[in-house]
Every structure is written in C-alpha cells, then in structure tokens.
Amino acid sequence: MPRHIQRSNAAQSVIRSRIEHVFADQQSQTGLFIRTVGIERATTRIGLAKIVYNMRRFLFLKRVSAAA
C-alpha cells in the first residue's frame, strides 16, 4: 500500500475510533434506542442523550484532574 494512503487511513482511524466510542457509550449507558413519533421528539431525545454524555464526561475529567 502506498505511504500516503497508509497515512490517510491512520488519520481516519483515529477520528473514527473517537467518534465510535461516544456512540457506543451513549447506546450502552442510556439504552439509546429511538422509537418515537415525529422527528422533533427523536431530535430531542438524541439531544438529551448528548447532554447527559457531556455532563458525565465533564465530571469524569474533573475528577481525573483533581486527583492529579
């Protein structure tokens, strides 16, 4: 495989792994399964799941920085 393609794949892999961990966490922790009537309700539910994830992540990072 050419060197430039290897570098491109490595860069995409780093981004993909970060994003997939967020979605996996949302699905496992919140049981995120969207089954609603209407796009507004689905959007609201996804938005709330994102807020919960961000709050949990913030608290985790705050605890880690306080311990250091």
Give residue 23's pLDDT. 79
For residue range 4-58, list pLDDT tens digits in order: 999 999 989 988 888 888 878 777 766 767 788 899 998 998 888 889 889 999 9
Confidence of residue 62 (pLDDT cuts 50, 70, 90): very high
Report the distance separating Cα 17 and Cα 43, nearest Å.
Answer: 24
pTM score of the predicted model: 0.63
Give residue 14's pLDDT. 87
Q: Mean pLDDT over all residues of the chain? A: 86
Q: For residue 49, how many other CB atoms are within 10 A of its CB?
A: 19
Q: For the chain, what is the domain count?
A: 1
What range does the domain containing 36 cover?
3-67
Q: Tell me if 30 sits within 8 A of 49, measured CB to CB.
A: yes
Q: How far apart are the first and last CA of the chain?
A: 42
State the helix-helix crossing angle for 39-67 and 3-30, rounded to 10 degrees: 100
